[in-house]
């Protein structure tokens, strides 16, 4: 093996060091008789000999002759943003160091720091801070393990995240998440560079380019897509088409109409969905005509009643406009086709077709022959797709209504989606009244669509309902999900008035064993977390 090392080619641009034989000779003869090779005149010859021997030993053990140094790394792009105040930086280090540990299943009174990290990052990004360089590795490690953290973490990390990701394959997600893999995208005036990147770039780079161009010039993005549409793979066409959701408008209709004839069923379906979100599109008009022929009001009855005559077939025109002909297992074909037609028809046309009634009046009409659930569910999907708050309100109904599910929503998921179409204040008010009337048993999904921090009425309704559940002797672990949401979503300013809830109370007669202690611990944890969140915000503000 030694012979192989000696026969390795020598890099002639590297000054040769002393050979091992020269060093051995100097050691045997003594440094007073033989000056070690490379030792400075008048220097400490024995120390120079030992230093040279140490270097040569490492070289021999590595098995390589010295070579030219690698080119130095290009520095990361500058980040002009300031780092957070020192106290906030220390808080971030603590949040990143926290790791959940296995336990008995019972939550302690200590806040879950990892659950507060998303809020800390969001608050830091709102204030325009950049990540402290020494915390970037821990931040990227946290984002690698939690995809929900990645957008906020990468925004906070800035260009240094991309620079580090090129050096560590475990952080490669940062390259995929950054526009163009971290490369600068062509600007508005760089037409040739834009064309070249679109025609020759990697798929992720092309998606990033199309998204960026769409954000500033919808027509230019559409022209870019049209130029290569016929040669794109079906799965790529589907992803590119999805980018048109941002800024969707009437000018996109001709392109989307052509996509209705695409070879891929998924592309046709997506094009039809986008067109149906444009109430003035030709497809929306065709769907309105089809749906209108299926739904009418029978005025001959003692009470005006909606009657439904579902389609008897799915013809070629319906399929071209995005109607899936094959129903899922367990679903009737006619009801399947009807639901798709009603979902794609513009909601604004139903008033004229159903006697000039308002959405509330239409939803309140009885529906003959057990078609109500199918019809209302389709209207729910249409209200969400078309972002129509007036229909959403009608389908949600009054939150204090005796029928907890509302007159039109068929599930909690549907109600949550309908609430998402309403302004944030109205959404919170509706959920607050719903909780005050029906309690917390069905509210987890509804609370998830409310803006954070919760408004004062919504926060009070949640806390009051939790306190009522405790007094009623309810099984405490049933509300752990809502309690966790409250820790993250209640306004931190509410901590003071919740202090009284942290005291332990005697268990009611029918309560689960130990329930009182659990409830006390849960409220202690809630108050402690709210105080911690308040401290986090103060630290970010320099307090």
**Taking phi first (over 0 means left), then psi (-120 to 50 degrees means alpha), and beta for anything else, what does residue 473 get?**
left
Span 312-335, pLDDT tens digits? 999 999 999 999 999 999 999 999
Q: What is the pLDDT along the chain (543 residues), one digit of tens a residue?
A: 334 333 344 444 445 567 888 888 888 888 878 877 777 766 688 888 888 888 888 877 776 666 777 788 888 888 999 999 999 999 999 999 875 544 444 455 667 777 899 999 999 999 999 999 999 999 999 999 898 999 999 999 998 998 999 899 899 888 876 554 445 667 777 888 888 889 888 787 788 888 888 988 899 999 999 999 999 999 999 999 988 998 899 999 999 999 999 999 899 999 999 999 998 999 999 999 999 999 999 999 999 999 999 999 999 999 999 999 999 999 999 999 999 999 999 999 999 999 999 999 999 999 999 999 999 999 999 999 999 999 999 999 989 886 544 444 557 888 999 999 999 999 999 999 999 998 888 888 899 999 999 999 999 999 999 999 888 877 777 888 899 999 999 999 999 889 888 887 766 666 566 677 888 888 999 999 999 999 999 999 987
Q: Is the peptide bond before 320 cis (omega within 30 degrees of 0)?
A: no
Query: How far is CA 318 from each of CA 130, 187, 220, 287, 329, rounded to the nearest angstrom?
Result: 52, 42, 31, 8, 21
Q: Which residues pair with 222 in a beta bridge?
A: none
- What pLDDT was estimated at residue 5? 34
**Residue environment code for 44-64, b if the CB has 16+ CB neighbours within 10 A, otherwise e:** ebeebbeebbeebeeeeeeee
- What pLDDT was estimated at residue 43? 66
- What pLDDT was estimated at residue 33? 81
Locate all alpha helices (DSSP H) within 217-355, ordered by sequence: 218-228, 234-242, 253-259, 265-276, 282-294, 316-320, 333-344, 350-353
Handedness of CA 351, 355, 357, 363 (dihedral sign): negative
CA distance 189 to 271: 30
The answer to whether the CB of 153 falls within 8 A of the CB of 142 is yes
Q: Percent helix, strand, coil in the chain (nearest 5)?
A: 60, 0, 35
Q: Are strands 295-298 and 305-308 parallel, antiparallel or unpaired?
A: antiparallel
- What pLDDT was estimated at residue 458? 97
| Domain parsing of the chain, residue ranges | 6-65, 112-181, 191-278, 279-396
- What pLDDT was estimated at residue 459? 96
Handedness of CA 213, 216, 219, 220 (dihedral sign): negative
The answer to whether the CB of 262 falls within 8 A of the CB of 226 is no
- What pLDDT was estimated at residue 178? 59
């Amino acid at each position: 093996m030694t012979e192989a090392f000696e026969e390795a080619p020598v890099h002639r641009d590297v000054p040769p060091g002393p050979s091992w034989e020269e060093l051995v000779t100097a050691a045997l003869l003594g440094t007073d008789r033989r000056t070690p090779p490379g030792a400075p005149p008048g220097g400490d010859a024995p120390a120079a000999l030992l230093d040279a021997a140490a270097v040569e030993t490492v070289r021999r053990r590595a098995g390589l002759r010295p070579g030219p140094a690698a080119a130095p790394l290009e520095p990361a792009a500058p980040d002009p943003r300031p780092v957070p105040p020192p106290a906030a930086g220390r808080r971030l280090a603590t949040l990143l160091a926290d790791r959940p540990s296995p336990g008995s299943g019972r939550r302690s009174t200590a806040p879950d720091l990892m659950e507060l990290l998303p809020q800390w990052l969001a608050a830091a990004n709102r204030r325009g801070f950049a990540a402290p360089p020494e915390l970037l590795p821990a931040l990227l490690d946290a984002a690698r393990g939690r995809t929900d953290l990645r957008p906020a973490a990468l925004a906070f990390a800035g260009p240094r995240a991309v620079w580090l990701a090129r050096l560590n394959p475990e952080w490669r997600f940062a390259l995929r998440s950054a526009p163009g893999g971290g490369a600068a995208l062509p600007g508005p005036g760089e037409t040739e560079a834009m064309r070249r990147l679109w025609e020759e770039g990697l798929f992720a780079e092309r998606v990033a380019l199309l998204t960026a161009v769409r954000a500033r010039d919808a027509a230019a993005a559409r022209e870019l897509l049209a130029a290569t549409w016929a040669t794109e793979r079906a799965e790529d066409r589907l992803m590119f088409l999805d980018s048109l959701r941002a800024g969707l408008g009437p000018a996109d209709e001709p392109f989307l109409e052509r996509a209705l004839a695409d070879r891929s069923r998924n592309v046709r379906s997506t094009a039809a969905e986008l067109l149906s979100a444009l109430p003035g599109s030709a497809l929306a008009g065709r769907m309105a005509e089809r749906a209108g022929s299926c739904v009418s009001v029978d005025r001959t009855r003692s009470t005006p009643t909606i009657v439904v005559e579902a389609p008897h077939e799915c013809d070629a025109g319906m399929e071209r406009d995005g109607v899936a002909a094959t129903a899922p297992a367990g679903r009737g074909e006619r009801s399947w086709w009807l639901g798709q037609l009603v979902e794609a028809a513009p909601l604004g046309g139903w008033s004229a077709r159903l006697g000039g009634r308002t959405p509330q009046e239409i939803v309140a009409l009885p529906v003959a022959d057990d078609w109500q659930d199918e019809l209302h569910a389709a209207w729910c999907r249409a209200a969400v797709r078309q972002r129509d708050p007036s229909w959403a309100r009608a389908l949600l109904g009054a939150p204090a209504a005796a029928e907890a599910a509302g007159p039109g929503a068929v599930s909690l998921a549907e109600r949550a989606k309908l609430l998402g179409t309403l302004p944030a204040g109205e959404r919170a008010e509706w959920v607050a009244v719903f909780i005050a009337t029906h309690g917390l048993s069905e509210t987890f999904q509804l609370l998830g669509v409310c803006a954070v921090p919760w408004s004062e009425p919504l926060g009070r309704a949640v806390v009051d309902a939790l306190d009522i559940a405790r007094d009623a002797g309810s099984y405490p672990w049933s509300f752990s999900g809502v309690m966790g949401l409250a820790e993250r979503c209640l306004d931190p300013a509410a901590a003071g008035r919740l202090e009284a809830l942290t005291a332990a109370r005697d268990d009611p007669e029918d309560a689960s064993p130990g329930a009182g202690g659990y409830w006390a611990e849960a409220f202690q944890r809630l108050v402690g977390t709210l105080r911690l969140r308040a401290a986090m915000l103060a630290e970010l503000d320099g307090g």
